Structure 1
Amino acid sequence: MLKEKVESLLNKALDERPSLFLIDFTMGGDNTIRVVLDGDNGVNLKDCMDISRAIEHNLDREEEDFSLEVTSAGATSPLMYPRQYTKNIGRILKVRTGAEELEGTLVQTSENNITLEWKAREPKPEGKGKVTVQKKQDIAFSDIKEAKVILKF
């Protein structure tokens, strides 16, 4: 009963803020409500507070005791939905597929895949030594096991 009410309030609050989207929603047996958000332009503290208030102010603590936590997806959290990749264009990703692990700059996303670019050192076609080459690869969302943004400082 409480879970359905919270879900309804959460969906209504997100409908009013189309740039935000849900990453995870859980509710523990002890009425601990946990909401994890992301946004096309990131998520700030005010966004979390607005969503928290939209839920909390419409529930009666006299009826149900609960705790509520609304957070943003962390910078090091794996990307879970195609919508998250778009806001990370231009950043370096580490992508693990079933066959390989690639690290490169995310240059574009489409409905079905992402495109990574990186430089690699390879043996020269003729003679000794190595040459730096520009590599580019499309990776289907369905092939991605895990993808994370690599933060460089």
Structure 2
Amino acid sequence: MLSEKTVKDLIDNALEERSDLFLIDLKVNPDNKISVVIDGDNGVTVEDCMFMSRGIENNLDREEVDFSLDVASSGATSPLINTRQYKKNIGRTLAVKAKPDLKFEGELTDVDEAGVTLEWKTKEPKPVGKGKITVNKQAKIMYDDILEAKVIIKF
């Protein structure tokens, strides 16, 4: 049986050559099915997936162990889980579910070691008189409080 550490070491070696790519998820099942999900600072192409696949496959001996390998990109609708994913999406609209039971939707304007900053506009009642005014809002959300964050794709 393949160990996850063996495969992770092969992935790390490949990522040393391609610092623009990074690992999102790795699973090695007991039946030696390897599933790898990658992302990149500039997105992921089919060639990037092939590069990663070769980096793993060419360093494992099929005579020694039989395995299947699937390398994929994280996808546009997948939740963000890595700090680098947040950084590459600055300027885009995110929908964030956060603790305790909060929901935010706004433009991702800043990312740091602790969390993310979202900004959005909303209509609120005027302080005096009838009607509403547009108000700029901002929220700093800590990574530990984020339950799920997804990029909103607008058509």
TM-score (norm 1): 0.95
Partner in structure 2 of residue 128 of structure 1: 130
**Which stretches of structure 1, 4 residues or longer, exceed 4 Å deviation after superposition?**
none
Percent identity, please.
58
Alignment correspondent of 1:11? 12
Which runs of 5 or more residues in structure 1 are unaligned? none
* 8 A contact 2:98–2:146 mirrored in 1: yes
- For 1:117, the equivalent position in structure 2 comes to 119
Deviation at 1:19, TM superposition (A): 1.2
| Aligned equivalent of 2:69 | 68
Cα deviation, 1:41-81, whole Å, max 9, x if unaligned, reads 11111111001011111222122111100011011111112
Rounded to whole Å, the distance in 2 between the matches of 1:90 and 1:80 is: 17
Cα offset, 1:7, TM superposition: 2.2
Counterpart of 2:91? 90
Q: CA deviation at 1:33?
A: 0.3
Match of 2:141 among 117, 139, 142: 139
The amino acid across from 1:2 in the alignment is L
Equivalent residue number for residue 59 of structure 2: 58
8 Å CA contact 2:2–2:28 kept in 1: the answer is no
Structure 2 residue runs without a partner (length 5+): none
CA contact (8 A) 2:26 2:34 kept: yes
Number of positions where the alignment pairs a residue of Structure 1 with one of Structure 2 = 153
Structure 1 residue 150 displacement after superposition: 0.6
Q: What's the CA shift string for 1:70-110, capped at 9, x where partnerless?
A: 01101111111212100000110001111310000101111
